[in-house]
Amino acid sequence: ASQAESLFNTINERLSYMEDVALFKANNHLPIEDVEREKVVVKKAIDSAANHGLSPQQTKAFFQAQIAVAKAIQYRHRADWLSQPASNQPRDLHQVIRPELLTLGNQINVELAAYIEQNGKISAKQEDMFKQSITVKYVSESDKELLFNALKKIELK
């Protein structure tokens, strides 16, 4: 896979965790939105952007877009489970999923910084490949556009 495809696959992988996040929360009577956790995720993303030479404001906005889409995926699964309960068991949110989401967030920044150093910013030319790379259920076309528009604004600082 190309460097851009690998980056897009990592973004898709982060979104792939959200079904398990939603199921863990449903089983444990937790709300989907966790504002305190979002602050931690965004702060880690800004720190990681600085470490890899990415513009912090645009990187922050991209992570806010990823969080918005992450919650939309979770609400859509929760709606399904009202009439058709889930039968599988999720991975543990605290011990497994959240640490892995932070690792993936850092990996996204590493891959993005390397891409921009070699090719310049992500541009409209990559949009079709981006959309094809996002294969997780319940990511809508407008979700993909929100993500891609934020992604292509990121530059090196």
Ligand X SMILES: C=C(O[C@@H]1C=C(C(=O)O)C=C[C@H]1O)C(=O)O
Query: What is the binding site for ligand X (CB under 6 A)?
Result: 21, 33-34, 37-38, 41, 66-67, 70-71, 98, 101
Q: CA separation (Å) from 17 to 72, 77, 101, 102?
A: 13, 12, 8, 12
CB atoms within 10 A of CB 73: 23
Question: What tokens appear for 153 in the block?
Answer: 């604004």
CB 120, min distance to ligand X, A: 27
CB 124, min distance to ligand X, A: 25
21/23 with CB nearer ligand X: 21
CA–CA separation, 61 and 153 (whole Å): 9
75/125 with CB nearer ligand X: 75
44/153 with CB nearer ligand X: 44
Collect contacts of 29-34 with beta carbons under 8 A, ≥24 apart: 32/71, 32/74, 32/75, 32/78, 33/71
CB 74, min distance to ligand X, A: 6
CB 55, min distance to ligand X, A: 20
63/115 with CB nearer ligand X: 63
